[in-house]
Amino acid sequence: NAGVTQTPKFRILKIGQSMTLQCTQDMNHNYMYWYRQDPGMGLKLIYYSVGAGITDKGEVPNGYNVSRSTTEDFPLRLELAAPSQTSVYFCASRTSGRAAHYYNEQFFGPGTRLTVL
């Protein structure tokens, strides 16, 4: 299994440009997540999905969009890039917990480092 893969690894955008960050997992996980991590900071949830066709906003969704047409893929779309979106973006996935109180671990991709100039 490749696990969670993300492309591209690095990207520089100009203000106002758009791009899609790709995320694919081959573990048949139903939950998928997008986080951003600013330097020296924790992980902020942008969007998440509990299964194909279902997405929901996280803490910082403004300026982003997602779709989940398949179990494997969860792309993140940036429209009209702004310098405030300069960050490292991580995609993660997990299975459902085996019990109500048990929350399975999240598997993270290697990240995409995005700079908006």
Partner 1 sequence: GQQVMQIPQYQHVQEGEDFTTYCNSSTTLSNIQWYKQRPGGHPVFLIQLVKSGEVKKQKRLTFQFGEAKKNSSLHITATQTTDVGTYFCAGPRNTGKLIFGQGTTLQVKP
**CB 73, min distance to partner 1, A:** 19
The least CB distance from residue 113 to partner 1, in Å, is: 9
Residue 16 backbone phi and psi in degrees, to 5: 95, -15
In angstroms, what is the minimal distance from the CB of 94 to partner 1?
9
- DSSP per-residue codes, 84-109: GG-EEEEEEEEPPPSBTTB-PPPEE-
Among residue numbers 44 through 103, which ones bind partner 1 (CB under 8 A)? 45, 48, 50, 56, 58, 90, 92, 100-103
60 to 8, 65, 90, 99, 109: CA distances (angstroms): 21, 11, 14, 29, 19
Binding part of the chain for partner 1, among 19-27, 37-45, 62-70, 75-83 by CB under 8 A, reads 37-45
Q: Is residue 10 part of the contact set for partner 1 (CB under 8 A)? A: no
Strands 112-116 and 107-108: unpaired
Output the smallest distance, CB 13 to partner 1, in A: 21
Q: How many CB atoms lie within 10 A of CB 2?
A: 9
List of residues contacting partner 1 (CB under 8 A): 31, 33, 35, 40-43, 45, 48, 50, 56, 58, 90, 92, 100-103, 105-111
